[in-house]
Amino acid sequence: MEMSEQKGTVWSVNGPVVVAVNLQGAKMYDMVKVGEKKLVGEIIGIHEDRVTIQVYEETAGIRPGEPVESTFEPLSVELGPGLIGSIFDGTQRPLEKVREGFGDFIARGVEAAALDRAKKWVFRPLVKAGETVEAGDILGEVQETKTIVHKIMIPPGVAGVVKEVHEGSFTVEEVVAVIHQDGVDRPLTLMQRWPVRTPRPYRQKLNLNEPLITGQRVIDTFFPIAKGGVACIPGPFGSGKTVVQHQLSKWSDADVIVFIGCGERGNEMTDVLMEFPELIDPYTGEPLMQRTVLIANTSNMPVAAREASVYTGITIAEYFRDMGYKVALMADSTSRWAEAMREISGRLEEMPGDEGFPAYLGSRIASFYERAGKVKCLGRDDRAGSLSVIGAVSPPGGDLSEPVTQNTLRVVQVFWGLEDKLAYKRHFPAINWLVSYSLYISHLEEFWKKNVASDFVENRTLAMKILQQEAELEEVVRLVGVESLSSRDRFILEIARSIREDFLQQNAFHELDTFTSLRKQYLLLKVSLTYYHEGLKALEKGLPLKEVLHIPARERIARAKYIPEEELGKIEQLALDIQEELEARLKGEVESNV
């Protein structure tokens, strides 16, 4: 990377905000090296000859008069083979390489190439010399992991005739092809760079019509997210935001997962790093790390890099989307990202907005979530990719009226409202079914009817109605007691409890219950609803409530979620057994009356 011979000097230092003077050729968002230690920073303001720099590292010890030099390019990430399975910090420094070279703590000014410069990758070209190519076309392939074929694409802005292309083993810096464009030869390598604040281009956005299957029943059945959709998980401390995001990272049917630990505690990221290599992807049978990229910018890392980590993660996610993959990005948590913006904004002495956050908080949050979607990728082949974004929000004290949550809710389509009371009752996931919502249900109806069952949506709607009736009846119970309710209403309370405990509640640490296929989810809910329909019929025909509630099959409803996926016929049989047992009880009641 070329440096300018024209160096500026540090004029003032205020935390991560440094003001430099006499920096020739300075442009907004260019990367700079600050001080004798060459700390990485980014230009975020220019006023006459003074340049304001946001430094991504601790600035202790920096003095006025120290040199500042520009790289003349914005904060960019390296995109190429070697991303999958890697752990980066917020500015894409590979943490494992940094640890090998500099120990457990990142020294200031440390530089390390994001992608391994020594490792050779086997490149198989898919174009021949003489062919005409355009931006987004697949130049060739590299088998990055057992499950991910890394497609080497023509970078945006490049088009022309393939002058030469080579097959064999190459490092990410070696030339694999030359494109002749407008009289100039443009060498291409396995790696390309892209500025993180600029969304990667695509041909067009597509309608969302396929769910992101997560294996979590309350999400997939009640509040689904579409592939290419956006969702937020707000909740107070201890309500299980991180655990839910870990579950989504582990079991989502996405091809690639990008997990951003943005300002979270180090021990939570350690859990991810320790667990993921040992877990097996239920869709491919391979370790989960073979489809995962981790961005770790924990709470003890510099605050300015936290602000960059979100953009680094989503740019990497867009790159895999452009290959035609289904990508899911988890940001945990966007509140810490917003707090980093607030801290830097305060040091810049900008006019504060609501609760001290900068006035541009809403537009920054919106521009981040708008980078999600299902798109037709660049290139002549008709490939589509999707990027789903799921952001956790940590409102102080669980107050959902605070600015970060409110600005997020304006742009997302799915709201999973976590409740600490549910978490304390050991109800996982602690998603409150009465306040959560999904605006994708109408988009996904056709998929469910075609791939699961024709009555999937009707069952979901009825279950939601029963849970709402339960909330209304509980208000009556608080006032006058359960004995005042009719047999029908008391039965509805029991069915609602069954839906809550036997369907919505899920054990993340049980090998059979941690992930549930859509088919099994449908059958589990149908069992509870079969009991509901048949029980109401029996009550109407005169069977006492005690008899309806104490059929032998009822105990098996609670254990049905532990039935393996390959034995789903047992759940179908259970629905038939419920019907038969109630009919037998009813027949016995009629005979005894005669």
Lowest mean pLDDT among 414-418, 459-463, 589-593: 589-593
Biggest alpha carbon–alpha carbon distance for the chain: 105
Q: Show which of 47, 73, 99 is a domain's final residue.
A: 73
Q: CB-side exposure of 9: number of CA atoms within 13 Å?
A: 5
Residue 536 inside a domain? The answer is yes
Nearest to 199 by CA among 371, 364, 365: 371
| Section 410-429 average pLDDT | 92
Pairing status of strand 373-376 against strand 39-47: unpaired
Q: Is 210's pLDDT higher than 70?
A: yes
Residue 329 inside a domain? The answer is yes
* 449: enclosing H helix or E strand: helix 441-451
Give the pLDDT band of residue 246 (cuts 50, 70, 90): confident
* Most confident of the ranges 120-124, 242-246, 481-485, 507-511: 120-124
Q: Are residues 420 and 461 in the same domain?
A: no
Nearest to 321 by CA among 369, 368, 384: 384
Residue 85 inside a domain? The answer is no
pLDDT at site 350: 87
Q: DSSP code of 221? A: I
Residue 307 inside a domain? The answer is yes
Q: Give CA–CA dist 473/493, Å, rounded.
A: 8
Range of the domain at 577: 456-593
Q: Are residues 478 and 406 in the same domain?
A: no
Q: Are residues 125 and 42 in the same domain?
A: no
CATH number at residue 267: 3.40.50.300
CATH number at residue 131: 2.40.50.100
| Section 411-436 average pLDDT | 92
Lowest mean pLDDT among 246-255, 297-306, 308-317, 465-474: 297-306
Q: Is 589's pLDDT higher than 80?
A: no
CATH number at residue 48: 2.40.30.20
pLDDT at site 591: 59
pLDDT at site 196: 94
Q: Are residues 364 and 236 in the same domain?
A: yes
Q: Are residues 251 and 155 in the same domain?
A: no
Nearest to 245 by CA among 334, 177, 167: 334
Residue 54 inside a domain? The answer is yes
Q: Are residues 266 and 366 in the same domain?
A: yes
Q: Show which of 371, 397, 431 is a domain's final residue.
A: 431
Q: Are residues 373 and 257 in the same domain?
A: yes
The set of residues, in sequence order, having a beta carbon less than 8 Å from that of 524 and lying 6+ positions away, is: 217, 502, 503, 516, 560, 561, 571
Question: Domain tally for the chain?
Answer: 4
Lowest mean pLDDT among 233-247, 259-273, 543-557, 564-578: 259-273
Q: Is 307's pLDDT higher than 90?
A: no
pLDDT at site 264: 76
Q: Give CA–CA dist 389/328, Å, rounded.
A: 6
Q: Are residues 271 and 419 in the same domain?
A: yes
Reading the block at residue 185, the tokens are 């030869």
| Section 457-480 average pLDDT | 94
Give the pLDDT band of residue 580 (cuts 50, 70, 90): very high
Give the pLDDT band of residue 590 (cuts 50, 70, 90): low
Reading the block at residue 456, the tokens are 């999937």
pLDDT at site 121: 96
Give the pLDDT band of residue 568 (cuts 50, 70, 90): very high
Pairing status of strand 437-438 against strand 17-21: unpaired
pLDDT at site 106: 73
pLDDT digits (tens, 9 = 90+) for 509-558: 888 999 999 999 999 999 999 999 999 999 998 899 999 999 989 889 99
pLDDT digits (tens, 9 = 90+) for 119-139: 999 999 999 999 999 999 999
Q: Cα angle at 465 between 459 and 469, to 5 degrees?
A: 145
Residue 2 inside a domain? The answer is no
Of all residues in the chain, the percent with pLDDT exceeding 70 is: 98
Residue 318 inside a domain? The answer is yes
Q: At what angle do helices 487-498 and 456-480 cross, to 10 degrees?
A: 120
Phi then psi for residue 445, to 5 deg, are -55, -45
Q: DSSP code of 289? A: G
pLDDT at site 587: 82
Q: Is 240's pLDDT higher than 80?
A: yes
Between 191 and 301, name the one with better pLDDT.
Answer: 191
pLDDT at site 594: 43
| Section 48-57 average pLDDT | 92
Helix ranges (H only) for 425-517 are 441-451, 456-480, 487-498
pLDDT at site 524: 96
Reading the block at residue 67, the tokens are 């040199």
Between 157 and 300, name the one with better pLDDT.
Answer: 157
Lowest mean pLDDT among 103-117, 385-399, 446-460, 501-515: 103-117
Q: Are residues 40 and 155 in the same domain?
A: no
Residue written as tokens 């009629």?
Answer: 590
Give the pLDDT band of residue 4 (cuts 50, 70, 90): very low
> What is the DSSP annotation of 384-407?
EEEEEEEEEE--GGG-TTSHHHHH
Q: Are residues 353 and 423 in the same domain?
A: yes
Q: Give CA–CA dist 572/576, Å, rounded.
A: 7
Q: Is 341's pLDDT higher than 70?
A: yes
Q: Are residues 465 and 375 in the same domain?
A: no
| Section 53-63 average pLDDT | 91
| Section 347-370 average pLDDT | 92
Q: Is 1's pLDDT higher than 50?
A: no
Nearest to 79 by CA among 168, 161, 144: 144
Q: Give CA–CA dist 196/150, Å, rounded.
A: 20
CATH number at residue 479: 1.10.1140.10
pLDDT at site 242: 81
Q: Give CA–CA dist 329/114, Å, rounded.
A: 19
Q: Is 592's pLDDT higher than 70?
A: no
Give the pLDDT band of residue 278 (cuts 50, 70, 90): confident
* Most confident of the ranges 245-249, 276-280, 379-383, 530-534: 530-534
CB 149 within 8 A of CB 392: no
Residue 199 inside a domain? The answer is no
Q: Are residues 419 and 470 in the same domain?
A: no
pLDDT digits (tens, 9 = 90+) for 108-121: 778 889 999 999 99
Reading the block at residue 127, the tokens are 């174009």
Q: Across all residues in the chain, what is the average pLDDT?
A: 91
CA distances (Å), origin 253, targets 221, 301, 359, 516: 15, 32, 37, 12
| Section 39-45 average pLDDT | 92
